Amino acid sequence: MSARPRQCHQPKAFCKSMTQTVAVIDYGMGNLHSVESALREAGASDVVVTADAEIILAADRIVFPGVGAIRDCLAEFRRLGCDTTLRLAIDRGTPALGICVGMQSLMARSEENGGVDCLGFFDGTVTRFPRNHSDADGTKLKVPHMGWNQVSQSQAHPIWDGIEDNAYFYFVHSFFLAVAESDCVTGSFDYGVKGCAAIAKGNVFATQFHPEKSHDNGLKLLANFLTWDGTC
C-alpha cells in the first residue's frame, strides 16, 4: 500500500517548453521553491511566485500550494486578498491546481484547529485520521500519513492522461477528505480509510498528495496541467 516505488530517473523535460505564465500563489505557507522547480522541469518556462493580484489574474494558469495549519494558511491567504483573486480567476476560467493544504482549503470546512470555514469551491469537510489508526488487518498506521501511496483514478480526467491507474504519489498529511464527502473526487487513496487523493470541478483540479515530490508521476501530472484547457 505504501511501499516506495523504484527510484525514477527524470527525463530532461516532460514536454516542450510552455510559453504561458504560471502563477504560484505566495502567501508564505507552501513549498514554493519545490513547486516552482517541478513546474519548470515539467516544461513551464515562465513561473512567477507572487501574491500580486494583477499578476495572478494575468497568468494563464494558477497553482495554489499549501503546508502547515489550515487556520494560519487561510488567515494569511485572506489577509493578502488571495481568496478574492483566486475566486475571480477561477470564475474567468483560468485552470487552477491546488496542492495538499491548498486542496483542503478549497473545501467547505475543515475540523482542524477546532473548526475552520474554508473557501467553499467544493462541498465536504476535512477530518483528522482516527486516533489509534490501523488498517483492516489491525496493523497500526502512523499519523501523519507520510510516504508513498497508490492513487486509484475514480474518474477520467485530462490531468490523468498517461498516468497509470494505482500509480504511486507522495503524501504528507494528518487530515483528509473522506471519499463520501464529495461527488467530485477523481482519485482516492487507502490508508486504513478511503480518502480523497484528487478532486476536480470545472477548471479546478486539486491533489492531497504532492506532485512536486512524486518523481515521474508527479512531473507527468504537472505537464498535463500545463497543457490542460480547463475542461473535462
The strand pairing partners of 25, in sequence order, are: 50
State yes or no: is 33 an active-site residue: no
| Catalytic residue of the set 100, 118, 184, 196 | 100
Radius of gyration of the chain (CA): 17
The distance from CA 210 to its chain's CA centroid, rounded to whole angstroms, is 6
CA distance 193 to 111: 17
Beta pairing partners, 63: 24, 97
Identify the active-site residue in 36, 41, 112, 212: 212
54 is catalytic: no
Q: Which of 190, 214, 106, 198 is nearest to 160 (CA)?
A: 198
Q: Does 210 participate in catalysis according to the annotation?
A: yes
Catalytic residue among 145, 173, 210, 215: 210
Compute how many other C-beta atoms are within 10 angstroms of the C-beta atom of residue 140.
Answer: 10
Exposure string of 167-189, with b = 16+ CB inside 10 Å and e = fewer, is bbbbbbbebbbbbebbebbbbbb
Cite the active site residues.
100, 210, 212
